[in-house]
Structure 1
Amino acid sequence: MKKMWQLWLTAVLAVLLLTACGGADDNKDKGTDNNAATTEQSDKDNGSDSEASEDADAATYPMTLKDATGVEITLEKAPETIISTLPSNTEILFALGLDDEIVAVDDYSDYPEDALEKEKIGDMNLNIEKIISMNPEMVFGHEMSLPGSEAGYQQIRDAGIPVYIVKNAMNFDETYSTIEAIGEATGKSEEAAKVVEDMKAKVEEVVAKTDDIETPKRVIVETSDVPEIYVPGKNTFMQEILDKIGAENVVTEDGWIMISPEEIVKQNPDVMVIMHDYTPDVINSVKKRDGFADITAVKEDQVVQVDSNLTSRTGPRLAEGLEEVAKAVYPEAFK
């Protein structure tokens, strides 16, 4: 199932992640001003008493929200039973403290550990009948799954259950906005602000550690194994990550492309970041490909595996994903 998920995700990203990352051209954007504003608001919220919080809740609901597809949803109160249909949604909801409200998740939601104990409602093919039978007060769908699930989402709406389609975040800023949007929809705006604040602080910390790198390393990132090796190029989320740490992507084409082993040998990257794990002993398997013994990354033992979930799930752990990639490319900066 893990292999199917990674291959499906790669295929979807190859279609969806062709637009430019909003912040990719700003290689060392630390988001200091936004962080200061968030911190100031958080300080105000933390100073309020429970009565003020109750008044705020009363003023907030009913609320009308517009999701990523432009559909308007009116909520009379914060949803008390929630279903998540994608791992990134699940991780955000748990990070907001909605453990008890989450009644079911998709089959691939495996983080945090508590997600494994939740009822399952299908994989890429959602069990629409089961979702409707559980009668949740909110279903969080995702823009990424629309090609195969749009009719199912409409069926859920027709049953009187609100569906909020979450935007497919294309960069860090959009990820922050997504977390804030889910926080607003669930009555957890204060918690969402804290999650974003912590993420921005981690990003600043990682960027600062790689700021003094004088010679950028040339990097290739693999998201699937032979015979169909897919790699991210320009205008992808991974490009923004490499830009933030001052690394050079050897792939100059736009979007996600399929690349041959021979082309990787020709490009001779300094570092190979491997983001697939369905091949046994994958690092040695990569090193043993024909001709790879001459690649700098192989000769200098710079073929490094990184958990793909940290960078493919646009949620609270994305800043950790940035750090893991930075450690893979510039381990000397983290000693």
Structure 2
Amino acid sequence: MRTRVWCGTTAALLGLLAAGCGTDAKDRADGSEGKTAGGYPVTVADCTGAETTFDAAPKKIVTSNASSLELLLRLGAGDKVIGTGFPPGKGTLPGELDAQAQKVPVLGKAVIAKEKLLGSGADVYIDTFASMSGMGGGGMGDAPSEAEFKTAGIKHIYLKSTACAPMGKGPVTDLSAVEGDITSLGAVTGTTAKAQELVTGMKTKVDAVQKAVAATPQSARPTYFFFDYDAGTKQPTVVCNRQIANALITLAGARNAFADCDGDFKQVGWENVVSKNPDWIQLGVRDRGSEAANKQAFDEAQRWLETNAATQGLKAVKEGHFLRIGSERTTIAGVANADTVQEIAKALYPGKVG
């Protein structure tokens, strides 16, 4: 699989039928050139500008993980999904979305095996990984080449907000790339109206938070550490400035303690965390499938910080400034990112954020 390079996704993608950095400016401006009355053909581009054109909505979709699956479910295109990798745990998604997600065949509990993916019968594969560290193209399995996808009759497209962000040219500080992915998937699956509704809802929530925290200067905003408990405690894994979590933290009116780290994730030493001495710590726990199991995991993460010699003296620990927000909706692109922004801001700015 060839290396992907971030080419930038902006808010201008909203409402467009032709998404991606490689499409012609005129096409992207009016969204109509060369299209049929039903909205097709639709062209999307990967991070290098390589284009994929759809003459009709795909009928058999395979998703690489729960992120792209959830977006399709929210768009109302979940009935087209014939398989997924990294499935969401039972109870991870809200209400009816969870019931729908549990019916999707699991092609792999982690990365889908190459042979299974190519033989799935899919007409499109939505890839969340691409150049993500340790995923796609090597670290977690032998990914198919573009030629192999073509031979199998599978169109290969990406969620650029996650697949390309690690190769970005600068920090991720807003949700425009996530919104662009939603808009692009809406165009591909013929659910543009629903995509616009989802994006509008996200923007409404985030804009309200931005207005509420606007008066607080950057230098006065609290520092924030995402403690990825499930990544292990021997050596902490931190979120850097090109991870979607950096955008959520920034939009919520905080300062990512590791915003000076270029990339998505990085392992550091506890001495680095101590030197940052964050004002707030998010207990990053992956969904365990039930409220009781989640509470137990959050309790364990907090207890570890409170009893570990290296962390018990941190300002956030001594003041009890912990947030219990799941890892998935913080570090994986999706509609719930806006809810996380709102939840962080409510904790950090009590009385200011509704």
TM-score by length of 1: 0.74
**Match for residue 254 of structure 1?**
261
TM superposition shift of 1:88 = 1.6
What's the CA shift string for 1:158-186, capped at 9, x where partnerless? Answer: 11222223324444111111111111111
> Following the alignment from structure 2 to structure 1, what is the Cα–Cα distance between the partners of residues 125 and 329?
24
User: 158, 170, 173: which one pairs with 1:165?
Assistant: 158
> Following the alignment from structure 1 to structure 2, what is the Cα–Cα distance between the partners of residues 65 and 100?
22
The reply on whether 1:314 has 2:321 as its aligned counterpart is no
TM superposition shift of 1:293 = 3.3
TM superposition shift of 1:329 = 3.3
The code of the aligned residue for 2:334 comes to G
**Match for residue 107 of structure 1?**
86
Equivalent positions of 1:92-171 (< 5 A) are 92-110=71-89, 111=93, 112-113=97-98, 114-142=100-128, 143=130, 144=132, 145-148=135-138, 150-151=143-144, 154-169=147-162, 170=165, 171=172
**Match for residue 237 of structure 1?**
244
Structure 1 residues 90, 178: closer, same or farther in 2, change over 3 A? Answer: same
**Match for residue 263 of structure 1?**
272
SS at match of 2:267: strand
The reply on whether 1:210 has 2:203 as its aligned counterpart is no
Structure 1 residues 96, 296: closer, same or farther in 2, change over 3 A? Answer: same
User: 39, 53, 74: which one pairs with 1:60?
Assistant: 39
TM superposition shift of 1:297 = 1.1
**Match for residue 193 of structure 1?**
196
Structure 1 residues 319, 21: closer, same or farther in 2, change over 3 A? Answer: farther
TM-score by length of 2: 0.71
**Match for residue 322 of structure 2?**
303
* Equivalent pairs, count: 292
Equivalent positions of 1:322-333 (< 5 A) are 322-333=341-352
Structure 1 residues 260, 331: closer, same or farther in 2, change over 3 A? Answer: farther
Residue 86 of structure 2 contacts residue 111 of structure 2 at CA under 8 Å; is this kept in 1? no
TM superposition shift of 1:140 = 1.4
> Following the alignment from structure 2 to structure 1, what is the Cα–Cα distance between the partners of residues 79 and 259?
45
Which 5+ residue runs of structure 1 have no aligned equivalent?
A: 1-15, 24-30, 39-55
User: 268, 290, 305: which one pairs with 2:309?
Assistant: 290
The code of the aligned residue for 1:222 comes to F
TM superposition shift of 1:252 = 5.3
Structure 1 residues 153, 220: closer, same or farther in 2, change over 3 A? Answer: same
Residue 69 of structure 1 contacts residue 165 of structure 1 at CA under 8 Å; is this kept in 2? no
Residue 273 of structure 1 contacts residue 328 of structure 1 at CA under 8 Å; is this kept in 2? no
SS at match of 2:312: helix
Residue 128 of structure 1 contacts residue 152 of structure 1 at CA under 8 Å; is this kept in 2? no
> Following the alignment from structure 1 to structure 2, what is the Cα–Cα distance between the partners of residues 248 and 65?
34
Q: Where is the helix percentage greater, Structure 1 or Structure 2? A: 1
Structure 1 residues 242, 158: closer, same or farther in 2, change over 3 A? Answer: same
Q: Percent identity?
A: 21
